Chains A and B, each alone.
Chain A
Amino acid sequence: MLEIINCNVNGNDIDIAVDVRESLLDVLRNKLGLTSVKRGCEEGECGACTVLVDGRAIDSCCYLAVCADKKKILTVEGLKGKNGLLHPVQQAFIDEAAVQCGFCTPGFIMSALEILNTGEIYSKEKIKELISGHLCRCTGYENIINAIHKAIMEREKYENC
């Protein structure tokens, strides 16, 4: 059964017909072509499908697309910095070599963004806790934590864009 929902995806208001059986992950990848949202474990364990819904990081694999009606969704495709450059969080991931195979990266970046948006300063130990809903099979956690820490420390840059 199809239902039309109205939501804001990466800053654009859209009306889209979704099947009630579809997860938000299905719709973002298959209907909207936002392939930064990765299909991983599909049971909320790995965090590869993390997107922000109304500013909160959620696993889009266990979130029904119809429930995203009237909500604001953000994926990595919706990130950009000043003058079309990379968003500071993305840049921090590159600077700290926090990307290996890259499959987990978009999810980590969305959680990093949620962490940054709280406006608080976190220690590396606390960052570990905050990204505990993500798995990196390349085990490159050290650099990921460094990148998020760097992004937090250089927050002014981010706030200006």
Chain B
Amino acid sequence: MFDIKNVYRPETLDETFSILKTDVDALPYMGGTDVLIKIKQKSNVSQSLIYLGDVKELKGIFLHNGYISIKSGECFFNLIKNPIIQNNIPILKKVSKCVGSPQIRNVATIGGNICNGAVSADSVPALLVLKAKLLLKNADSERIVPIEKFFFGPGKTVKKREELLIQVDIMSKDYKGYGFDYIKFGQRNVMEIATLGCAAGVKLSNNGTNISDIRIALSVAAPKAIRCYATENEIRGLEIGEEIFKKIKQSILAETSVRESFRASKELRNQLIRELSCRAVENAINRARDIECWK
């Protein structure tokens, strides 16, 4: 049995907010594949849970004029199967397939993956290179937080207790014309927590010879998932060639601070950062070229 006081099952957001106001111990959850396991391992003290699975306002993936909205309660299985994701931001499909196992992906949600705040969260590096905007709401107000400002440490996010993550918005100017890639390194293919994750996004200049924009994001390379702004600035505008990869290898370690853990040593992680960021950028360049060809 789980060490839980009570389980609320609201059906609307309004109901959820009023529960959050009255019960200060209540923790909202959706799939439970992180929350329930933490409770089982006794790292969460006895508390109440709010099951959000019946809240319809948290479901759906929409293509609006100028942006894509993914509601926080969409499970990874739905992300993989969704044509809007497949046609516009296939990197999110690739990332979703890296999460847990099929049974986990049937319940685990993108909102949970973000709010759990794990440094190894699979969806976060991809959302960083997509410059995702997170819509947070409480009973009276709402605010939009860019994903790079959402985390400030392992398991720590700027989301306040009485707030809920409602949706993830991705602007079309941030994905149209870009090629993306995500590489996850682990000891096995499934049911694996990333030893290191690297996402890259590249946009080529009009004649396809230079890099007009680049974004690189890493997970497990620092106490939170990071964008490597300094390295990006070094490469932006350069002609495609060996020089780019040399520069990445030279400067990227200055932006990371890896830790030693039972999963990997510092040396291995540093080696992975240098190598995977180059590979991800190379794949992203190739994808960007494919997009150019379609034009």
Contact = CB atoms under 8 A, between A and B. Distances in A.
Given A56-B106, A58-B103, A64-B36, A23 B2 contact: yes
Contacts of B104: 44, 59, 133
Contacts of B106: 56-58
A141 interface: no
B36 A62 contact: yes
Interface band, chain B = 20 to 34
B101 A20 contact: no
Residue from the set B4, B41, B189 with the largest chain A CB neighbour count within 10 Å: B4
A131 B9 CA distance: 31
Nearest to A43: B37
B2 A133 contact: no
A58 B104 CA distance: 7
A66 B104 CA distance: 19
B37 A21 contact: no
B32 interface: yes
A147 B212 CA distance: 51
Contact of B4 (A20, A47, A129, A133): A20
Contacts, number: 85
A81 B103 CA distance: 25
B268 interface: no
Contacts of B1: 19, 21-23, 26
A59 B31 CA distance: 11
B161 interface: no
Contact of B9 (A19, A43, A69): A69
Residue from the set B32, B51, B106 with the largest chain A CB neighbour count within 10 Å: B106
Interface of A: 1, 3, 19-23, 26, 42-45, 47, 50, 56-59, 62-64, 66-67, 69, 111, 114, 129-134
Interface of B: 1-4, 6-7, 9, 32-33, 36-37, 40-41, 49, 51, 53, 77, 100-104, 106-107, 189-191
13 contacts: A20-B4, A21-B1, A21-B2, A21-B4, A43-B40, A44-B33, A44-B103, A57-B102, A58-B103, A62-B32, A62-B33, A64-B36, A66-B51
